[in-house]
């Protein structure tokens, strides 16, 4: 009996998924594994600088899907907030230089500061960097984070809140990122995916799984199919809403980072094939 070859043409890996690898090792490893696309994290650019990293990426033939990450706008003082805006403007320049079309924003929060205030500062921060993004041809995408990160990483915790920010700012040059790890629990998820799709805001789609019990709040994401997230179902929703982009594997996992990264890629491909490939 012959089985049809698995289609990996829609698969994309975040360089954070193979965190121990340098950018050049990741490029090499992904190409050898037949993974066609990459989302680049800022820390993997840093050792090379954006210009050299851009050259390496263009020469690699890998499609650069997005750049992670900007954001972290809220701060207690005006001075710190304006520093964050400056840093995001620099990030936009780096995104343009490496040839990525999209900058993903993890919006930020300040422990103890009311979430309403942080959300206002997030919207103000995005509004402040939007003109630079537009002139650089870079789209900004707001990624809502699971509420367990509402203290310090993001005051934007649902897709509805992300959609609302995009709507308030007029939508142009903006989008939202649906990361199943962060939003799978949300009873309004399907509706808000439809809303984002109807407005053309679905910018990117991140996948991993939720381990039970989760052993670490940051670095214990599971491979697709090893947890309880209905990933296939959520992807059906984003596709039905008109999203045609990549399935981006974003795996923060001490377990995966501690092993042989080439073997991790094989595990990811198997998990993807079982869980999501056509």
> Between 84 and 178, whose beta carbon lies closer to Zn ion?
178
> Between 192 and 250, whose beta carbon lies closer to Zn ion?
250
Considering the complex, what minimum distance in angstroms separates the CB of residue 209 from Zn ion? 13
Q: How far apart are CA 154 and CA 156, in angstroms?
A: 5
Considering the complex, what minimum distance in angstroms separates the CB of residue 59 from Zn ion? 27
Considering the complex, what minimum distance in angstroms separates the CB of residue 51 from Zn ion? 26
Q: Is the N-terminal amide bond of 246 cis, ω within 30° of 0?
A: no
Taking a C-beta distance cutoff of 8 angstroms, is the pair 223, 268 a contact? Answer: yes
Which residues of the shown chain bind Zn ion in the complex (CB under 5 A)?
179, 206, 250
> Between 81 and 202, whose beta carbon lies closer to Zn ion?
202
Q: How far apart are CA 150 and CA 118, in angstroms?
A: 10
> Between 81 and 189, whose beta carbon lies closer to Zn ion?
189
Considering the complex, what minimum distance in angstroms separates the CB of residue 143 from Zn ion? 5
DSSP string, 172-232: TTEEEEEEHHHHTT-TTHHHHHHHHHHTT-EEEEEE-B--SS-S-TTTBPBPTTSSS--HH
């Amino acid at each position: 009996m012959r089985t049809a070859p698995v289609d990996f043409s829609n698969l994309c890996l975040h360089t954070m998924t193979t965190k121990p690898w340098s950018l050049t090792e990741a490029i090499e490893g992904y190409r050898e594994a037949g993974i066609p696309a990459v989302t680049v994290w800022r820390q993997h650019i840093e050792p090379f600088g954006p210009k050299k990293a851009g050259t390496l990426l263009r020469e690699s033939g890998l499609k650069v899907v997005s750049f992670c990450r900007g954001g972290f706008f809220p701060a207690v003082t005006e001075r710190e907030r304006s520093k964050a805006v400056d840093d995001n403007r620099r990030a936009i320049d780096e995104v343009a230089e490496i040839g990525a079309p999209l900058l993903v924003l993890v919006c930020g929060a300040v422990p103890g500061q009311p979430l309403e205030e942080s959300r206002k500062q997030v919207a103000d921060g995005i509004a402040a960097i939007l003109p630079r993004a537009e002139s650089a041809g870079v789209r900004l995408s707001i990624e809502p984070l699971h509420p367990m990160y509402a203290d310090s990483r993001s005051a934007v915790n649902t897709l509805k809140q992300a959609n609302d920010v995009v709507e308030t700012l007029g939508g142009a040059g903006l989008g939202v990122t649906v990361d199943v790890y962060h939003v799978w629990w949300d009873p309004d998820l399907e509706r808000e995916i439809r809303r984002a799709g109807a407005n053309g805001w679905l910018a990117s789609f991140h996948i991993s799984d939720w381990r039970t019990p989760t052993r670490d709040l940051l670095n214990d994401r599971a491979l697709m199919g090893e947890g309880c997230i209905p990933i296939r179902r959520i992807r059906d929703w984003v596709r039905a809403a008109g999203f045609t982009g990549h399935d981006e594997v974003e795996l923060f996992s001490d377990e995966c980072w501690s092993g042989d990264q080439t073997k991790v890629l094989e595990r990811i491909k198997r998990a993807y094939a079982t869980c999501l490939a056509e």
